[in-house]
Amino acid sequence: MVLEATYGDRLQPRTDPKDELKEVINKVVAREGVLVIPAFTVGRTQDLLHLIHLLQDEGAIKKVPIYVDSPMANAANKIFLDHPEEHLLMVEGDRLVPPICLCDFIGVTELNQSKNLMKKEGPMIIITASGMLTGGRIMHHLKARLPDKKNAILFVGFQALNTKGRLLQEGIKTLRIHHEEIPVEAEILTIPGLSAHADYQDTIEWLSHLKKKPKMIFINHGE
């Protein structure tokens, strides 16, 4: 068996990521900051927009401008919205949970729109790629937002070793972007429960249901 074990070295908290997202958004909005969320374009971005919609619907967070600055993410959003019949329905108790519903957001596709976004003041939320800070429009947003304590960078996915995302999580004080040393004054936050990877407990639990024990397991993509 070839098996991924991305979080093979840790046990993720069993807290509700929606509650954690509510706390983060309310904290950053209260200080009129900009919340920058690096997110994978297909799946994670839509999860975030759905959770924000639920929080807004409950009145748990204030409505602030939300920008999705990624042509690919916006193309994926359109597919999700155009095909609700393909969404997975869930049942909680005796209640049918509606399929994914995205909050009101402003899709940014053109480069000049993205550049203008960097000049805007908060409070607002910017969701953009890449999820691990390996390139893309997120780098320009980091340059604009990292030096200000009002702002926050929120990680919602795995950050591989030696990526800029992992360096920020580990507390680096300056981050080199486009040959410049950018001071890290913004708050660096992580919601582990929004990552799609299993932790070691989930992995072992999944393996325990196999009817036939594998002769050998190769661990791939693991820590």
What are the per-10-residue average pLDDT scores of the chain (223 residues)? 89 88 97 96 91 93 95 92 78 69 89 92 94 90 97 93 93 95 97 87 93 92 79
Q: What is the pTM of this model?
A: 0.87
Q: What pLDDT does residue 9 have?
A: 87
With beta carbons less than 8 A apart as the criterion, state whether 101 and 63 touch. no
Q: What pLDDT does residue 99 have?
A: 66
With beta carbons less than 8 A apart as the criterion, state whether 108 and 117 touch. yes
CA distance 218 to 89: 34
CA distance 160 to 146: 20
Q: What pLDDT does residue 38 have?
A: 95
CA distance 75 to 79: 7
Q: What pLDDT does residue 209 have?
A: 95
Which residues, other chains included, contact 51 with Cβ-Cβ below 8 Å and sequence gap of 6+? Answer: 17, 18, 21
Max Cα distance, the chain (Å): 58
Q: What pLDDT does residue 11 have?
A: 87
Q: What pLDDT does residue 80 have?
A: 85
CA distance 12 to 31: 29
Task: Tell me how far the alpha carbon of residue 33 is from its chain's centroid.
Answer: 18
Per the document, the length of the chain is 223
Q: What pLDDT does residue 98 have?
A: 63
- Long-range contacts at 109-118 (CB < 8 A, ≥ 24 apart): 109/71, 109/74, 113/69, 114/69, 114/140, 115/140, 117/67, 117/69, 117/141, 118/143, 118/144, 118/145
With beta carbons less than 8 A apart as the criterion, state whether 102 and 46 touch. yes
123 prior amide bond cis, ω within 30: yes
